[in-house]
Amino acid sequence: MRVLALTAQAPIEHEPLRLERRPVPEPGPDEILVRVGACGVCRTDLHLVEGDLPLVRSPIVPGHQVVGRIERAGAGSTRFEAGARVGLAWLRRTCGACAYCASGRENLCERAEFTGYHADGGFADYAVAPAAFAYRIPAAFSDADAAPLLCAGIIGYRALKRSETPPGGRLGIYGFGSSAHVTLQVARARGCEVFVCTREASHRELARRLGAAWAGDLRDSMPVKTDGTIIFAPVGDLVPQALRNLARGGTLALAGIHMTPVPALEYERDLFYERSIRSVTANTRADGEELLAEAARIPIRPTTTTFPLEGANRALQLLKRGAFAGSGVLLTEADSRV
């Protein structure tokens, strides 16, 4: 099988992902072997490749927005039938016994493992994962449309919950990549007004097309105070700006796994009147199940740019430059569109 493997971190312009041929892996007990149809390209993959996140295993195959069909299952794995279409997301395994896991906060488990980080992910023809952490994919979505939901969608969904933006309220968004363009659709389906600040003109156009009430440049002032705001851009300098745009009692959710340093905050200007900041750490399986069900009901329609599997370096280069709007997706079949 083909894999795109990372051995040493480097700027994506150096094309550090190397195409290799490997034997198809065998699923272990309670695991499934998935023949990959599509895998989303995420900014977390870029952070890993370029060294913003530590390399905990080398070589590693990135990719954690995986959609495919079960080829076979390991001993004791009975959750899915052969041929079932499933998704694999960032959260790969937790201990299941700690206080966090026992209280419905498995995303905070200190022994959590992540797809494409601790174990090989979906930049490949096949991937192995614990069956308990896979999701059944609704029939409403193609493989390419489902892939971005498995991280961009789930993390955006959790960020929206953490922002405590009420149905019919006002939501602010900073940065408008894969996750934000899914989150906007969820928020609009809940009757929210959405205001977007983002760097790229094509991303602003997509935001308006998806129903944003207003879209401006990353440093523009939003025209109204928002009930909740999400920062998707990994830019710490945006935190004071976003806080100043929050209504009294509003909440700012920081959705990225990595962010540049946050500057000093002034208490009265930035935090007084019960404005809050919350980070977002991974997701629980309940988040994933809820997002997939709501996305199918709406239904969410991700905007995707597809690439062949071998084009992973190029896809990440374009992601870094903001050269496509919406989500990038790698396809294992030859009919991909670049």
- 152 SS3 class: helix
Check residue 328 and report its DSSP letter. Answer: E
Query: Is the pLDDT at 9 greater than 80, yes or no?
Result: yes
pTM for the model stands at 0.94
Residues of the chain with CATH 3.40.50.720: 153-279
Other C-beta atoms closer than 10 Å to the C-beta of 28 total 14
What letters, b where the CB count within 10 A reaches 16 and e where it falls short, cover 156-195? bbbbbbbbebeeebbbbbbbbbbbbbbbbbbbbbbebbbb
Helices 152-163 and 178-189 pack at an angle, to 10 degrees, of 50
Please give the CATH number for the structural domain made up of 153-279. Answer: 3.40.50.720
Span 68-105, pLDDT tens digits: 999 999 999 999 999 999 999 999 999 999 999 999 99
Runs of H (alpha helix) within the chain: 43-50, 99-102, 143-146, 152-163, 178-189, 201-209, 238-244, 285-297, 312-321
The pLDDT assigned to 336 comes to 35
Q: Which pLDDT band holds residue 334 (cuts at 50, 70, 90)?
A: very low
Half-sphere exposure of 278 (CA within 13 A, CB side): 20
The pLDDT assigned to 337 comes to 33
Residues of the chain with CATH 3.90.180.10: 2-151+282-331
CATH topology of domain 2-151+282-331: Quinone Oxidoreductase; Chain A, domain 1 (3.90.180)
